[in-house]
Amino acid sequence: MADTEILDAELVKDGELVHAAPVARPLVDAHTVLMPGEEIVKAELVEDGELLPAHSGRNRKLNPETAQALKEAAEEGSAPRRTAMNGFEKWCAEQDLPAIPCDTFTYTEYGHYLIKKGLKVSTIKNYMSLIRTSMPPGQQPDTSLYLLLLRQYRKKNKRAVRRKEAFPITMPYLVPMMAKAEADDRPIGWRDAALFALGYRFLGRSIEDVDLDIEDLTITDTQVVVWLAEDKTHKGEEQTKVLHDRPDLNLVFRLRRWLGYLAEQGITTGPVFRHVLKSGKVASSETRAKKATKRGDYLRPQTVNEVVKKWFHAAGLKTDGRPVSSHSLRAGGATDLGMSGATEEELEDAGRWAPGSPIPRTVYVRPAKDRAHDPFGKVPLYGPEA
């Protein structure tokens, strides 16, 4: 009996048994994980009438606590990933297509949808990559058809390849911004001035700045030591950076003033940069219940973007046509370093770029030098202007 194989069968004429036609069975394998309330997907027939391998759905549903922990982890994912997936899931719902897991057909159609919207190639590639890597292991769609469409789009639409780098907020722009933020001597201005000084000196990406906890900073009279669990370039590798202060930046004073204000309200741990109410009090998740975000007490990177633009224009500053954004702080620090003779190694270390990365020179330093250099300046003036 041990070697006996049981087959589905039907009774036919003369009482003989024959193999029954294959029927759909639950599509569950050793890697299937079901959230509470999720239904088991039925397998479909494949070539030669064979059924896809299926296991029992028993013991495949996650414990509710595990499911909740996974949900919270997904919600706390990177802001770009959430943005990409939110747009994709909304489109899938409108098209009555499954978003997760996403098949190659859906992936290709969505890629074409983004192309028809006229987005920049870099934006489309970023969104599509984030969507693909958000799929369950082993269920990622094939990219070949979408990339074929993207290559054709690149050829026909040259403007879609163009990227506008952020305007660098160098020291001549940074100092007036901080002074304007502090002009009314209000807590929100103290916060923003400290945020600008740190963003410039730390060369931090906006998400790194707003994710810092008070416990991550060690402040002395002349420097600020910042600890990072990891960053974009150093995944799983902690970083400790020593930021020496300077009189025009006043990083130590500005951070101490802001942290001192938090301490007066009993806040000595958790996020460094927080929301401030109109009353001047620091907001909490409870006091901001109506406007609470998934980040809780932590500022969103978009908030940094907004306050940078606000104080830049409030200070009466103008750009050369490039957009001002939160990234302008990082760009400004890198540009100042490069224009002041910093070596490539010093630039890479200051901004925590990967060794040999061309970004510091090609994105920040070289364009700044090109703008400052005018070869026609060597030509003598003629006529009345001479």
Domain boundary among the residues 50, 73, 96 is at 73
Of 123 and 181, the structure prediction assigns the larger pLDDT to 181
Q: List the one residue out of 219, 165, 217, 174 whose CA is nearest residue 196.
A: 174
Whether residues 186 and 313 fall in one domain = yes
CB 367 within 8 A of CB 165: yes
Whether residues 337 and 240 fall in one domain = yes
Distance, CA of 135 to CA of 101 (rounded, Å): 6
pLDDT at position 363 is 79
Whether residues 61 and 176 fall in one domain = no
Q: Which sign does the torsion angle of CA 153, 157, 158, 160 carry?
A: negative
Whether residues 357 and 225 fall in one domain = yes
Distance, CA of 377 to CA of 386 (rounded, Å): 13
Give the strands of the sheet with 239-244, arranged side by side.
217-219, 223-228, 239-244
- pLDDT (average), residues 115-141: 90
pLDDT at position 49 is 56
Specify the CATH number for the domain of residue 152.
Answer: 1.10.150.130
Distance, CA of 352 to CA of 24 (rounded, Å): 54
Q: List the one residue out of 83, 133, 80, 90 whose CA is nearest residue 113.
A: 90
pLDDT digits (tens, 9 = 90+) for 236-284: 778 899 999 999 999 999 999 999 999 999 999 999 999 999 888 998 7
Whether residues 89 and 205 fall in one domain = no
Of 321 and 30, the structure prediction assigns the larger pLDDT to 321
Which range is least confidently modeled, 120-129, 170-179, 213-222, 234-243? 234-243
Residue reference for tokens 């600890």: 227
Tell me whether residue 217 is in a domain: yes
Whether residues 182 and 195 fall in one domain = yes
pLDDT at position 35 is 65
pLDDT digits (tens, 9 = 90+) for 133-142: 999 888 899 9
Annotate 220-264 with DSSP letters as a single string: -SSEEEEEES--SSSTT--EEEEEE--TTT-HHHHHHHHHHHHHH
pLDDT digits (tens, 9 = 90+) for 41-91: 555 545 555 554 444 444 556 778 887 777 766 665 666 788 899 999 999
Distance, CA of 371 to CA of 368 (rounded, Å): 5
pLDDT at position 220 is 96
Tell me whether residue 165 is in a domain: no
Q: List the one residue out of 30, 48, 28 whose CA is nearest residue 40.
A: 28
The model's confidence at residue 373, banded by pLDDT at 50, 70 and 90, is confident
Phi, psi of 378 (to 5 degrees): -80, -15
pLDDT at position 8 is 46
Specify the CATH number for the domain of residue 266.
Answer: 1.10.443.10
Which residues form the domain of 42? Answer: 1-73
Whether residues 218 and 325 fall in one domain = yes
Domain count, the chain: 3
Whether residues 198 and 82 fall in one domain = no
Q: pTM of the entire structure?
A: 0.65
Q: List the one residue out of 171, 267, 271, 264 whose CA is nearest residue 217.
A: 271
Tell me whether residue 291 is in a domain: no
Which range is least confidently modeled, 16-30, 207-221, 243-257, 353-367? 16-30
Reported residue count of the chain is 386
Tell me whether residue 114 is in a domain: yes
Whether residues 256 and 339 fall in one domain = yes
Q: Per residue in 254-271, is it b (16+ CB within 10 Å) or e — as a string?
A: bbbbbbebbeeeebeeeb
Whether residues 85 and 66 fall in one domain = no
